[in-house]
Chain A
Amino acid sequence: NAGVTQTPKFRVLKTGQSMTLLCAQDMNHEYMYWYRQDPGMGLRLIHYSVGEGTTAKGEVPDGYNVSRLKKQNFLLGLESAAPSQTSVYFCASGDDGNIQYFGAGTRLSVL
């Protein structure tokens, strides 16, 4: 029972490089979310999706794009990474928008 799986677990990028973080859930959840966690600031919502083919902006969407082509996958893209995007990224999914289940996180460093 995998739940929410994030890949990769760690990544180091140079400024200006691009990358995609993958989130996969096997619980048939409609809702999926991407958060970033920075020291002393809790989790902040980047983008979210309420169903396959839909995406919406969260609290801190600038510099990120997302896609939800398949119900089980939610991709977070960084087109041109900046040091300010150094963070821990968490994906979550939920079936009714109320209870969210989190992945283990991706630690990203941008040099």
Chain B
Amino acid sequence: LAKTTQPISMDSYEGQEVNITCSHNNIATNDYITWYQQFPSQGPRFIIQGYKTKVTNEVASLFIPADRKSSTLSLPRVSLSDTAVYYCLVGAMNRDDKIIFGKGTRLHILP
């Protein structure tokens, strides 16, 4: 399992674009990059997953450079309700590869 490193916390303001970067220098060839979001008093919520280049959905975009040693979760025009902990996980997409959560990034959106 590739180890991930992400900032412990970030602050931003409403309406801004927020980019959270995750480092995973030891990512394996068959590993995917997955991001979860956890609001206070709730379970984590899967938000996006990718292997290379760019993935976009209704919640976020995920940018992955060619060497795949890092990735950036991009949240467009954040609101107060985006205040949450964001977890970056790296691993193979099979049931034998146990999911391990790191410490995550605590994102605080200010008015």
B and A form one assembly: no
Interface, chain B (partner A; CB < 8 A): none
Interface, chain A (partner B; CB < 8 A): none
